[in-house]
Amino acid sequence: MKIGVLKTDDVRPQLVEEFGEYPEMFAALLQREDPSLVFVTYEVQHGHYPDDIDEVDAYLMTGSKTGVYDDQPWIAPLMDFVRELHKRKKPTLGICFGHQLIAQALGGEARKSEKGWGVGVHSYEVQETPSWMVEPQGEFSLLVSHQDQVVALPPKTKVIASSDFCPYAMLQIGEHMLTMQAHPEFTKPYSKGLMELRQEVFGADMVEKGKESLHNDIHASAVARWMLAFLKSAS
Annotated active-site positions, please?
A: 96, 183, 185
- With beta carbons less than 8 A apart as the criterion, state whether 68 and 100 touch: yes
* Alpha-carbon gap, residue 128 to 125, rounded angstroms: 9
What is the Cα–Cα distance from 119 to 152, expressed in whole angstroms?
22
Which residues have C-beta within 8 Å of that of residue 144, sequence separation ≥ 6?
96, 118, 119, 120, 121, 122, 166, 181, 182, 183
CB-based contacts of 193: which residues, under 8 Å, 6+ apart?
A: 14, 15, 18, 19
What is the sign, positive or negative, of the torsion defined by CA atoms of 215, 192, 151, 154?
negative
Residue 213 vs residues 116, 123, 146, 168: alpha-carbon distances, Å: 17, 11, 15, 21
User: Could you give phi then psi for residue 159, rounded to 5 degrees?
Assistant: -85, 110
Q: Which of 28, 26, 104 is nearest to 58 (CA)?
A: 26
DSSP one-letter code for 168: T
